A and B are shown apart, each in its own frame.
Chain A
Amino acid sequence: MTRVLIVEDDPQIRRFLRLALESEGCSVQEAGRLDVGVAASRLGPDLVLLDLGLPDGDGLDFIGPFRARSKAPVIILSARGQEPDKVAALDAGADDYLVKPFGMAELLARVRAQLRRRAGEGAAEAPEFHFGDVVVDLDRRSVSRAGDPVHLTPIEYRLLTFLITHAGRVLTHRQILREVWGSGYGESGHTLRVYVGRLRHKLEADPARPQHLLTETGVGYRMEI
């Protein structure tokens, strides 16, 4: 049974989360405070739903120590207008975020996606990825769309492989820049956006309405496979 830890100070929101997760067959543990959450996290939950504004501290302080011990997904519960907080949480090791208010379907979709991603992580990395009519073969370093080869520059290819090997996770601009361009490119957010735009034009059916290379505005990108 999947064990989910909820760290959230509002009892009614916890109630909603519990009802939703139990209907999905998860066992739920609740914490209304940061210190209780930290203590409960030692029991090794399979997934954590974490509110950032807790009465006895910042939920951000939960993530680092937890990440050091566990690879279980952490989903942030946040409000609109808190983009810098989300970025900080994701940079610290959180995997995804939900913006309040959210419904049950949205919650369960995110939880399932994270659990699926986590389950697939242990397996040997698949050499081939499919999304839409695109096939990416990591062994042969080739990309094709509807059977036709697609030419990507080295940076475009590196960007694409980083995104697809982290599919389902929200990656911040900083994380992508550091990985694809190296540490010297920390400030060139516009360059990253231009390259993502180019990838979309090469790989998406409608680049202005992408189905796979999704924008998380003010935060980063998420690859949906």
Chain B
Amino acid sequence: MKSTNVPLVEPQAAGDRAEGMAKRVWKYAGAVLACLLTAGIATLLMPWVDPANIVMLFLLAVFLVAWLLGRGPALLAAFLAVGLFDFFFVLPHFSFAVADVQYLITFAVMLAVALVTGQLAAVARERLRYMEMAQETRMQAEAERLRHSILASLSHDLRTPLAALVGLADTLVLASPKLPPPHDETARVLRNQAQSLAEMVNNLLELARLTQGRQPLNLEWQPLEEIVGAAIQRLGPGLDAHPVSVDLDPGLPLLEFDAVLLERVLGNLLDNAAKHTPPGTPIFVEARVRGNVAEVSVRDSGPGFPPDFGANAPAHYGLGLSICQAIVAAHDGKLALENGPDGGARASFTLPLGAPPAIGEEPEAA
């Protein structure tokens, strides 16, 4: 059993408890102090005011204690108020003896009123605090929901006109009869620019969603090979000018990742390599096990990253790499960008190996 060595009270909890105790002692001391203060003021006022009004002063003190310090201190203050009133302000003075029996009724009513108002004030205060807390959680949930719905509607509102723009520009490019050369060229540029704008918006929205930190990963155990193929397939014509060679360690186990997001990482890295190297430059996708991680790399033999390209460069190198970094970090991995010994850029990321589940094998009978 794991729990045998755990102390019954965690040090942190013990500290909290001691702090709570000290706070409570101060509250009761406050109640005592308030009653003594009231007695002092009443003593000063005694020549001019009736005992009935001194009772009022004490009741006010109990009420304030209840409001400010809570239920327990109010209870103490109620009894203390009756005691002090009797001791100092009822004949004979400086004695708990009572000359006029009528005062017993005063005491009883005073105590009852003090207890009830104290109780009511404390309850009202607790309820108010509870309402404030509820209000606060509600506002947090509301803000969360609002952020989510703003992002969703922003995503719809930005993507819809872009989708129309890309499509309509494409109908011009593919129009028959073909547009005269200058217009045809313009239509092509329109389509391509709209396309890359759409891609940028996609990246931006994805980054916003990722950095909100509340997008749950859709983690599943799967072969890396599948998303490598999917990423290459999705880039399609974008990779036509570059021979891509894939070399994945056949001993690579299943890895646990969000397929859609990791395909984005591979796609962005491949796209970067294709865009920043001259046509014909080969691109290599490789994966190996290194210690307790799998390392996946995309490298090329192009000009490499610029010399002033620091370790924190992704942020300055465009949205694509920032997203890669955010996605890899969400998978407890690391993204590294470097230039190879023989030049060329190399982007690599790691994924923890973990313990993949068993495959549902079939009995070997054909």
Q: Which A residues form the contact surface with B (CB < 8 A)?
A: 10, 12-13, 15-17, 19-20, 23, 53, 79-81, 83, 100-105, 107, 151, 153-155, 181, 185, 188-191, 193-194, 196-197, 200, 206-210, 214-218
A194–B252 Cα distance when bound, in Å, is 12
Q: Shortest Cβ distance from B44 into chain A, in angstroms? A: 75
Which single residue of chain B is at the shortest CB-CB distance from A20? Answer: B171
Q: Point out which of B176, B222, B228, B365 has the most chain A C-beta atoms below 10 A from its C-beta.
A: B222
Which single residue of chain A is at the shortest CB-CB distance from B202? Answer: A80
Q: Point out which of B209, B218, B225 has the most chain A C-beta atoms below 10 A from its C-beta.
A: B225
Q: Which residues of chain B (132-176) have a CB below 8 Å from chain A?
A: 155-156, 159-168, 170-171, 173-174, 176
> B306 interface residue, CB < 8 Å from A?
no
> B360 interface residue, CB < 8 Å from A?
yes
Q: Contact at A153–B362, with CB atoms within 8 Å?
A: yes
Q: Contact at A102–B166, with CB atoms within 8 Å?
A: yes
Interface majority SS on B: helix, strand, loop or mixed?
Answer: helix
> B323 interface residue, CB < 8 Å from A?
no
Q: Contact at A104–B174, with CB atoms within 8 Å?
A: yes
Q: Contact at B246–A151, with CB atoms within 8 Å?
A: no
Interface string of B229-240 (1 = CB under 8 A from A): 110111000000
Q: Which B residues form the contact surface with A (CB < 8 A)?
A: 155-156, 159-168, 170-171, 173-174, 176, 191, 194-195, 198, 202, 205-206, 209, 218, 220-223, 225-230, 232-234, 244, 246, 248, 254, 259-260, 263, 356-357, 359-360, 362, 364-366
A207–B228 Cα distance when bound, in Å, is 10
Q: Contact at B160–A10, with CB atoms within 8 Å?
A: yes
Q: Contact at A101–B227, with CB atoms within 8 Å?
A: no
Q: Contact at A16–B160, with CB atoms within 8 Å?
A: no
A208–B133 Cα distance when bound, in Å, is 55
From A19, A83, A185, A206, B260 is in contact (CB under 8 Å) with A83
Q: Contact at A13–B220, with CB atoms within 8 Å?
A: no
Task: Pick the 5 closest A-B CB pairs, nearest first.
Answer: A16-B167, A12-B164, A101-B166, A100-B163, A218-B260
